[in-house]
Amino acid sequence: MRKSDSGLSEVVSVVMILTVVILTIVMAALILIPIMGDNDERVHNGDVLLEFARMKADVDTAWISNNTGVTRQAVFTLSPAGDRTEVTVMPNLFSVLSFGGVSLEYGDPVSDNYTKVNIIYTAANMYAEDVEIIYSGGALLQNGDEILPGSTKDTTRYIVVVDKSVVKEQSIGGTGIVTLEYRLDKIVQSGSDYLCVFYMVIR
Amino acid sequence: MMQKSDSGLSVAIGFIMLLMIIALIIGTWALVGVPEQTRNAESYHAIGVTNAFLDYKIGVDDLRLNNQSGVNVSMLIPAASAYSSGALRLSGNVGTLSIFSNESLLLSEVGMSRLSATFGTTNTYVGYEGGGVFRSDYGYATWVTPPMFELDNLSNDLYVTMVVPRLNGSFFVGSTEGIPVDTGWKNASQWETFSTNQTVEIRYNAKEEWDAQLWYTAFYEAVEKYENDENAGKIANVTCTPGINGNTASLLIHPVSGKIIHIHILYPEYDVDVRSS
């Protein structure tokens, strides 16, 4: 009787290899990529908060030392694609799907010319929680929770403000980076508060 | 007729070889690529923590220099990274500073405060101590920016100036995120004295050996800076010798004749606390 090896035929092998390849791709799409994406976006959420915290500390330093006329910069990464702290199998190939935006807005008015400045980062994540980080007149908030307070001295508040006739509201979105340029122009007294008047622009 | 055999090229063997190559690639990536990428990310994180402490130093120095008592500097110290949690510690007494004049005590055991972060393994510290920022890895420490300790030649007298910040508070908090720290400057007190024709020894007795090494470096660098100052120059007949013995770093200042050594120490006092939010 002739021995048959039809169970090892090329057609069956090709079908098996294709099945394994498809199974691998499906597993990656369903499990691996969402896990990686979630991780990338969580790390990025934390990194943007730290970028805002550094900016807040630097703005505080500027008015504490009355350092007028010196332009400083802060950089915010809008998406994990612009971030350098993640470990990725396929670096940032899928993370570019998420993006974010930074806007410079007027907050509560504190006098005729001056208004509190709000710098707002809004994430549009694919996998992780969307966060909103707000720098508002000296305080730092994330999703409405105060992370770092504004500066006070007894009942006196030091409020970071902009002159509405000089600083315009702006908004920039995307996946790259946004640069905030800021400069302390002067510190003026308003009632019991001190207004730290900054020139600000985002690019 | 003899049948031609191609069993060496069987599909089964080819398939197994393909699988082996894929396994080899995945194995190499897991063993080499992932640790390397993680190391890079951790190095980047360590630089971030160091930068945060440099910002902290600038912030608290500015409070003191601008007389801003009652105002807090609030900062987020990124002790944790994406791969490991971190901890922030405020220790009120990591070493003691004493000053002797011909073996008699001029200044007795002033405690040194330290705010430090540790992350990943607990063998790496970045911290603020004596007005400087340091980094310590596996028992080897170095100043990122030196403490406020200076030797100056003013009118041929030697002036020793030192700022020893006192950080009030005590905490050791761990977190998987950034740790918010509030620091407010309270006041600054000053201690000064002078010594004529007597050997002065500034002694720092650390709890850990790497900390003593760190202060030995600070003394050594201060002496180098003073002796190589092109404007004022070195004072003749005064020798400055840094030394280290176990957990004690010291600076011996030996005047030969008729020389006055002035010592000024400033103690700025700060209240430091972590925010619960």
Q: Is residue B28 part of a domain?
A: no
Residues of A in contact with B34 (CB under 8 A): 87
Closest to A45 in 3D by CA, of A141, A126, A130, A103: A130
pLDDT in tens, B209-253: 999 999 999 999 999 998 888 777 778 778 899 999 999 999 999
Residues of B in contact with A49 (CB under 8 A): 76, 178
Nearest CA in chain A to B186: A153
Q: Is residue B14 part of a domain?
A: no
Q: Chain A contact for B176, CB < 8 A?
A: no
Query: Helix B34-65 vs helix A33-64: angle between axes, to the nearest 10 degrees?
Result: 20
Minimal Cβ distance to A66: which of B41, B66, B182: B66
**Most A CBs within 10 Å: which of B74, B84, B182, as the mutation test of the A interface?**
B74
More reliable by pLDDT, B95 or A127: B95
For residues B130-148, give the mean pLDDT: 92
Dihedral sign (CA B162, B165, B166, B171): negative
Dihedral sign (CA A44, A46, A50, A56): positive
CB contact under 8 A, A151 and B74: yes
Instruction: Give the residue numbers spanning the domain of A38.
Output: 2-202
Minimal Cβ distance to A147: which of B12, B45, B277: B277
Q: Is residue B64 part of a domain?
A: yes
Q: Chain A contact for B52, CB < 8 A?
A: yes
Nearest CA in chain A to B76: A53
- In chain B, the number of structural domains is 1
Q: Is residue B29 part of a domain?
A: no
- Cα–Cα–Cα angle for B157, B163, B169, rounded to 5 degrees: 160
pLDDT in tens, B151-191: 988 888 889 999 999 999 888 888 877 889 999 998 888 88
CB contact under 8 A, B182 and A151: no
* Residue B224 identity: E
Cβ pair A151, A139 in contact under 8 A: no
Tokens of B264: 């000024």
Instruction: Give the residue numbers spanning the domain of B163.
Output: 35-274
Which residues in A15-34 are b (16+ Cβ under 10 Å) and which e? eeeeeeeeeeeeeeeeeebe
- In chain A, the number of structural domains is 1
Nearest CA in chain A to B66: A65
Residues of A in contact with B69 (CB under 8 A): 153
**Most A CBs within 10 Å: which of B47, B71, B275, as the mutation test of the A interface?**
B71
Looking at chain B, the whole-number percentage of residues with pLDDT higher than 70 is 95
Q: Across the strands, what pairs with A114?
A: A163
Nearest CA in chain A to B37: A87
Q: What is the pTM of this model?
A: 0.82
Cβ pair A125, A43 in contact under 8 A: no
pLDDT in tens, B13-64: 887 888 899 999 999 988 988 888 888 878 888 888 999 999 999 999 999 9
Residues of B in contact with A43 (CB under 8 A): 82
CA dist., res. A73 & res. A59, Å (int): 10
